[in-house]
Amino acid sequence: MTLKDECTYLGIDLSTQQLKGVIVDENLQILSETHVQFDSMLPEFRTHSGVVRADKKTVTAPVLMWVKALDLLLDKLRVCGADFSKVAALSGTAQQHGTVYWQIGAENILHSLDPSNFLHSQLASCFSISHSPIWMDSSTTKQCQMLEEAVGGAEKLAEITGSKAYERFSGAQIAKIAETKPNAYANTERISLVSSFACSLFLGSYAPIDWSDASGMNLLDIQKKEWSQACLQVCGSNLESKLGEPVPSYTDLGPINEYYVERFGFNPHCRIISFTGDNPASLAGMRLGANDIAVSLGTSDTLFLWLSEPKTLPEGHIFVNPVDSDAYMALLCFKNGSLTRERIRNLYCSGSWDEFNRLLESIPRGNFGNFGLYYDSQEIIPFVQGDFRFDKAGSSVSKFTSPEFEVRALIEGQFLARRAHAEDLGFSVGPGTRIIATGGASNNKTILQVLSDCFNAPVFILEAANSAVLGAAYQAKHGRLRNNSNENVTFSSITSCVPVPVLACEPYKNSAKIYDPLVKRYRKIIKEIQTRTDSRS
C-alpha cells in the first residue's frame, strides 16, 4: 500500500509514570490513544510512580520496563483499533535528562530483531546499566562542581550549555557512571537519552540525540549546536563517540525497522522523525506563542517560554527550540509537583481529588495568613528539602490547625514559587498574556483557579491535556513534510488546523492585592530557609 491517502501520524511519550501513544489524522485530530502505567501494568519491576529510589538522592528506572511497556503499548493500540499500515511517520518524546547505556554489540541485536519474539526478551542483555539514572536523581553534586570548575565557573557553563550544572543533567550523571562503574562504562558502546533510546527501538539502530533534548545535558554548546569539548572531557573518556552526532529535532532518520512491519503491520514506508524531551515536545503540542507562558502540571511542574535569542540565566535552562532550530526556549523545572499534591491529598482527603478541591475552595485566597512550602524530594529550584509551615504571625509551625489550611497552603505555596522564579527569568504579566496549562493536574479546574489568581492572569487549556505526546505526533507530520516536500513547510503552517486553547479561568479582581505581597513573602521565607540549611553539603 502507498501512503498517499488517509495518512496518520503516531506520537509516543515515555514519561515518568507511563508510556503513552496517540494516533492523529491528517488534520491532527486524535483517532486513538492509550497508555501503559508502569506501577500497575508492569508490577514485576517494582517501581513506585515509575521509579526506583535507592536512597533519598539516587533515583533510577529499569530500562527493560520501558522496553516491555513498548511491546504492551503497541498491542493495546492495536486492540483500540489502530491501523498501523496508515501511519506515515512517527515521532516521540520522553522524560528529559535520563541516560541509557547500550552494551557493546547491542546495535547488532537491534539490527536483527526477530518479529516472532517480544522486544524485551531480545534486548534483555543489551544494557550495561540495567537501571537508568533519571531526572529525579540528585546524587551528582560532586560531578556538578567538577564540571563547573572545568569550564571556569557556573556562569561560564550556563553561557555555553544554557544551564549551570544541575544534578539531574546527563553530563554529571554520565560522569558519575564513568567514575563509579568504570567497567560498565568501558563496556558501553552508545549512550542514549531516554528519548533517543525510545527512537532507537523503532529505528532498529542507534538514533541520534536531538539538539533540544541535548540542551538538557550540560554538554552541548547551544549556540554552535555541537558538543562542547571542554565539557565532554571531564565527563568520561571517548564520550563523543559514545554519544554520536546531535541533530535538529525534526530530522527524518529513515524508515521504521522491519520488526514493526512484520509484527504490528506498520507500513515499510513509515518514517521515523527524531524524538525529543517532554518539555520541548509540550511546547510543540501547545503551539506556544510569544505572549504565552506554559505551565505543565505533570509528575514535575514545569514552566516554559519561547525565546528568539539565548540568554544566560542564574537558575533555569535554555534549550534549543524543537520546532525552529534558530530559536530557543526557557524552562524552569520543579521536582515537587503532582507527587507532592498526591501526598497531601492522600493524607487529608482519603485519596480523593474531589475532597481535595472541596477543602481548597473552603478557605479564602490568602489562607488567613497561613503559608506553606512542601518539598518531598530535593527540590531543583530552590535546592531545598522538607516541609515548612508558617502561621499568620510568621512563626514556624509543625502543623496547621486543620486540613483545609494544609491544602490551600500547598497549592498557593507551589504557584507563588512558580511565579517568583518565572519573574526572575524576566517574565511579567502584560496585556494578552496567556497561561497555558497542561499535564495531568490541568484537568483540575479548582487547582487552575489558584494558578490564575497567584499569577493574576487568565489560564487556558487545550482540548487534550497531554500536550507532550500530541506535540510528538505533530512533529511526526512536520518532520515528514519538511524533509520531503518542495513547499516551504514550517511547524506553524503544519499545525494551523489545531484548535486554539480555551479559557479555563480568570483571576478574581483583587488577586494582585492578595498575591503580590505573598510573592515577596515567599522570597523572604525561601532566603531564610536557604541560609538556615546548608543544603548542598
Stretch that binds ligand XUL, among 89-97, 147-155, 234-242, 398-406 (CB under 6 A): 89-97
What DSSP state is assigned to residue 115? T
Q: Are 66 and 15 in contact (CB under 8 A)?
A: no
Q: Is 414 in the site for ligand ADP (CB under 6 A)?
A: no
* Distance between CA atoms of residues 172 and 218, nearest Å: 8
Q: Are 35 and 21 in contact (CB under 8 A)?
A: yes
Q: Is 278 in the site for ligand XUL (CB under 6 A)?
A: yes
Single residue of 162, 216, 440, 471 touching ligand ADP by CB under 6 A: 440
Single residue of 110, 373, 441, 459 touching ligand ADP by CB under 6 A: 441
When CB distances are held under 5 to 8 angstroms depending on the partner's kind, the choice from ligand XUL, ligand ADP, none that residue 135 binds is ligand XUL
Beta-bridge partners for 272: 90, 254
Q: Are 501 and 461 in contact (CB under 8 A)?
A: yes
Grid coordinates belonging to 33: 490513544
Q: Is 340 in the site for ligand XUL (CB under 6 A)?
A: no
Q: How far is the CB of 227 from ligand XUL (least distance, A)?
A: 19
Q: Is 218 in the site for ligand XUL (CB under 6 A)?
A: no
Stretch that binds ligand XUL, among 95-103, 153-161, 263-271, 424-432 (CB under 6 A): 95-103
* Distance between CA atoms of residues 108 and 205, nearest Å: 8
* Distance between CA atoms of residues 56 and 183, nearest Å: 25
Position closest to ligand XUL via CB: 96
Q: Are 198 and 71 in contact (CB under 8 A)?
A: no
Single residue of 7, 9, 17, 198 touching ligand ADP by CB under 6 A: 17
Q: Is 47 in the site for ligand XUL (CB under 6 A)?
A: no
* Distance between CA atoms of residues 406 and 368, nearest Å: 12
Q: How many residues bind ligand ADP (CB under 6 A)?
A: 16
Burial class (CB in 10 A: 0-12, 13-18, 19+), 290: exposed
When CB distances are held under 5 to 8 angstroms depending on the partner's kind, the choice from ligand XUL, ligand ADP, none that residue 97 binds is ligand XUL
When CB distances are held under 5 to 8 angstroms depending on the partner's kind, the choice from ligand ADP, ligand XUL, none that residue 333 binds is ligand XUL
Q: Is 133 in the site for ligand ADP (CB under 6 A)?
A: no
Q: Is 302 in the site for ligand XUL (CB under 6 A)?
A: yes
Grid coordinates belonging to 526: 525561601
Q: Are 10 and 86 in contact (CB under 8 A)?
A: no
| Smaller CB separation from ligand ADP, 231 or 380 | 380
Q: How many residues bind ligand XUL (CB under 6 A)?
A: 16
| HSE-CB of 366 using CA atoms within 13 angstroms | 13
Grid cell 475552595 in the structure block, residue? 361
Q: Is 96 in the site for ligand XUL (CB under 6 A)?
A: yes
Single residue of 342, 379, 404, 406 touching ligand ADP by CB under 6 A: 342
Grid cell 497531554 in the structure block, residue? 466
Grid cell 562504562 in the structure block, residue? 185
Instruction: Give 415's contacts (C-beta < 8 A, 6+ positions apart).
Output: 450, 451, 454, 455
Binding to ligand XUL in span 144-173, by CB under 6 A: 168
Q: How far is the CB of 353 from ligand ADP (least distance, A)?
A: 4
When CB distances are held under 5 to 8 angstroms depending on the partner's kind, the choice from ligand XUL, ligand ADP, none that residue 444 binds is ligand ADP
| Smaller CB separation from ligand XUL, 333 or 429 | 333
Grid coordinates belonging to 188: 558501553
| Smaller CB separation from ligand XUL, 92 or 216 | 216
Q: Is 35 in the site for ligand XUL (CB under 6 A)?
A: no
Q: Is 353 in the site for ligand ADP (CB under 6 A)?
A: yes
Position closest to ligand ADP via CB: 440
From residue 306, give the alpha-carbon distance in Å to each of 111, 250, 268, 301.
Answer: 38, 17, 36, 17
304, amino acid identity: F
When CB distances are held under 5 to 8 angstroms depending on the partner's kind, the choice from ligand XUL, ligand ADP, none that residue 353 binds is ligand ADP
Q: Is 299 in the site for ligand ADP (CB under 6 A)?
A: yes
When CB distances are held under 5 to 8 angstroms depending on the partner's kind, the choice from ligand ADP, ligand XUL, none that residue 456 binds is none
Q: How far is the CB of 301 from ligand ADP (least distance, A)?
A: 10
Dihedral class, residue 49 (left if φ above 0, else alpha if ψ from -120 to 50, else beta): left
Grid coordinates belonging to 67: 522496553
| Smaller CB separation from ligand ADP, 317 or 335 | 335
Burial class (CB in 10 A: 0-12, 13-18, 19+), 361: middle
When CB distances are held under 5 to 8 angstroms depending on the partner's kind, the choice from ligand ADP, ligand XUL, none that residue 159 binds is none
* Distance between CA atoms of residues 357 and 343, nearest Å: 14
325, amino acid identity: S
Q: Is the peptide bond before 382 cis (omega within 30 degrees of 0)?
A: yes
Q: Is 338 in the site for ligand ADP (CB under 6 A)?
A: yes
Single residue of 68, 76, 86, 97 touching ligand XUL by CB under 6 A: 97
Interaction site with ligand XUL (CB under 6 A): 16, 95-97, 135, 168, 216, 277-279, 298-300, 302, 331, 333
- For ligand ADP, the binding residues (CB under 6 A) are 15-18, 298-299, 338, 341-342, 353, 439-441, 443-444, 447
